[in-house]
Structure 1
Amino acid sequence: MLTQPAVPETAPVCPDHAGAPSTGTCERCGRFLCEQCRLPHSGVCAACAARQVQALPSTRGRAQLASGALVLGAVLTLPVAMLNLWLFASLDNGRPSPEDAASYDLMNGLIAIPTLLTMVTTMVLYLRWLRLSVRTANALGLSNESTGWATFCWFIPLANLVKPFDVVRELWQGVGGDPRRKAQLTAWWATWILGNILTNISTLLAGADTAGATTLDTSLIIGLLSEGLSVAAAVLCIRVIWDIESLLVARRAEAEATLGAATR
């Protein structure tokens, strides 16, 4: 009695894994794909994914620009902290002298301009890096995140407390991030959120003080804490950027090696 073959002779099979039944075709070149060679979040084969990635610019330049802007922002935090510390040491019963207040306002105004410009530049450069990184991960079949949502979720109230972290975490996991380094991601986001909260509290207290409350000293202390957290968040963000960048480079190299093998 003849035994029934595991795969009918007429059934399509994968050209790379002999005998493996096809579960579909590549959306780009039409070749048969099996479960072993189908990319997790993509309907294309590994060779076509590599071609898609080759059409994208490298993320390295954008990672360097974003990191440089973060370093500059951290450096500009130093004169702000020194100015706040000077005013705190000059307080008399919770209030500065008129001369000290005038000097503080003048210096604070001068520092505020480059600080604001650096903050906006950092935001733009960081989001350009993140957007291209997500596009690259999508092309590699390692993510299905929308590049538009990954960018604009930073500007949506309430959603921007959680979703940006989810985007970066899923990108990091998709490209092969080490689970043992997951605490670094959490620390980055925690310091970023807490630093912003303390900045808002410091601003509110300073405004209350001008209305007659004696809370300027508390405002300055909280401001110093927020500036310290901002520096920590910048350092951690740079480390996250380069962790993801190194993993993306490795995944791109693997895809290009696959394409090279397929074209030989």
Structure 2
Amino acid sequence: MSFSPPGSPPNYASEPLPMLRSPRGLATATTVLLVLTGVISLVSAGLSLYVSATAGTGSYTGPLPAETLPEGLMILGTLLQLPLMLATAVLFVIWFHRAYGNAEIFNPGAVTRSQGWAIGAWFIPVGNLFIPYTMSKEMWAASIQLRKDGSYRSVSQAPVTTWWLTWVAALVADRIFTYLYDGADTFEELSGAAAAGVPQGLLLAAATVLAIRFVRKLTALQTLKAAQGPYEAA
């Protein structure tokens, strides 16, 4: 038996409406891993500085055997960094995906890509140097409350831009370091590669600090808009 009044159109099951999902838990976990990554990056920069000075003193000469102290320290730095960076990247992308989904609900007109791009964009060669940045700016704009009169309220995008520029600089420094390190066959070449590892570690540490700022600020914007609605409180 139908529960519709006589003559009324039949009931059709409607698609479930998208729901906001809090990014706070993921933001907290991401922040913790970013802090650890930043600390390890500073340690790695210190190891690189020591190796650069040690390998370049003339105490070590000739071909580069793997069992020497300088080479061992470089391997240690890599072993400390890589697993933690991988875990941090995975959790950051999960948070990014959650936040972009919220942005689609807050202001569909402010975003130009589907939520799936919040994951896929990071794996596109060359595109991963700018697509996540444009998506971050879209999330930022969509997460800002409007003024009481409906006009746009400007909030500086500096946390987005400074984080992204530093991150790209860290990627470039990492490519240079990797190229020099992979080609190092003598202690002199290892010293040069280790010297390149110092700015790489420092830039990565700076990028993690700025990433924390971006994650916390965007999460705060989304939490406020979810609690108070699209218009700022009087």
- Does the pair score TM above 0.5? yes
Q: Equivalent residue for 1:231?
A: 205
Aligned to 2:219: 245
2:201 and 2:221 map into 1 onto residues whose CA distance is 31
Unaligned runs of 5+ in 2: 1-12, 146-152
Is 1:131 matched with 2:106? no
Higher Cα Rg: structure 1 or 2? 1
TM-superposed deviation, 1:105: 2.8
| Count of residues paired in the alignment | 207
SS at match of 1:147: coil
Task: Name the amino acid aligned to 1:120.
Answer: L
1:87 and 2:62 matched: no
Instruction: Report the CA distance between 1:236 and its aligned residue.
Output: 0.6
Instruction: Work out whether residues 63 and 241 of structure 1, in 8 Å CA contact, stay in contact via their aligned partners in 2.
Output: yes
Residue from 164, 167, 171 that aligns with 2:135: 167
1:141 maps to 2:107: yes
Letter in structure 1 aligned against 2:208: A
Q: 1:122 to 1:135 in 2, by over 3 A?
A: same
Higher RCO (Cα < 8 Å, 6 or more apart): 2
- In percent, how many aligned pairs have the same letter? 27
Q: 1:151 Cα shift?
A: 1.0
- Which residue number corresponds to residue 205 of structure 1? 180
Q: 1:111 to 1:169 in 2, by over 3 A?
A: same
User: Counterpart of 1:58 in 2: which secondary structure?
Assistant: coil
- Is 1:191 aligned with 2:166? yes
Decide whether the 8 Å contact of 1:175 with 1:251 is kept in 2: yes
**Contact conserved, 1:201 with 1:222, CA < 8 A, in 2?**
yes
What does residue 115 of structure 1 align with? Answer: 81
Q: Report the AA paired with residue 75 of structure 2.
A: G
Q: Call closer, same or farther: CA 1:231–1:64 in 2, change over 3 Å.
A: same
Partner of 2:122: 154
CA separation in 2, counterparts of 1:234 and 1:66?
10
Give the secondary-structure state (helix, strand or coil) at the position aligned to 1:209. coil
Q: Tell me whether 1:102 sits opposite 2:68 in the alignment.
A: yes
Q: Report the CA distance shift for 1:229/1:179 in structure 2 as closer, same or farther (over 3 A).
A: farther
Which stretches in structure 1 are left out of the alignment for 5+ residues?
Answer: 1-27, 30-47, 258-264
Q: How large is the RMSD of aligned CA atoms in angstroms?
A: 3.0
